[in-house]
Amino acid sequence: MVFTTALNFVRSRGPDEFWRKRKIFKLAAHFIGRRRNCYSIAIRNVHRALVYATKGRQLKKEDMANLWETRVRAGCEQHDIPYDTFKEGLTRCDILLNRKVLSELACWEPYTFKALTDVARRRAIDDGLKGATSSNDIDRILTRGSLNKT
């Protein structure tokens, strides 16, 4: 193709206008009102939507992490042990369950979760951590020093 001026060259670049716009309209198909039918408005909103989608993937991970932590906190409250003491106690016992699994256990395996809180509390008492109070229940079951490595 021969271009007499640079302007013509610029205007002729890219795929045909129809196909270029169709790409955007396809993404805007589920929008409401002029956003789906007017190109200049549609492209603005499509760009915004794509940016949100990109950022949203990270946000979803953060939200899930927050949700798990909330659930574990609730479980800890139920068994009367502060969350930080619980995590610290478990870590010191080399129990390396993550928050996702702990939250699932708190929801679906209440006995197991109670056992974990008892282990953490025993360890916290043995190590003299703050926020752990003794109860006869665990004294009967887990004895002093039994959670330390031998």
Which residues are at the interface with other proteins (CB under 8 A)? Answer: 47, 50-51, 53-54, 57, 84-85, 88, 91-98, 100-101, 104-105, 108-109, 111-112, 114-116, 118-119, 125-132, 134, 138, 141-147, 149-150
Smallest gap from residue 50 Cβ to other proteins (A): 4
Complex with other proteins: residue 3 or 98, whichever CB lies closer: 98
Kindly state the tokens that stand for 70: 């909330």
What are 146's two structure tokens? 């039994």
Alpha helices in 1-109 (DSSP H): 6-11, 17-27, 34-37, 39-78, 83-92, 99-108
Contact call for residues 118 and 138 (beta carbons, < 8 A): yes
Q: 7 vs 53, which CB is nearer to other proteins?
A: 53
Rounded least distance, CB 49 to other proteins, Å: 9
28 vs 48: CA distance, rounded Å: 11
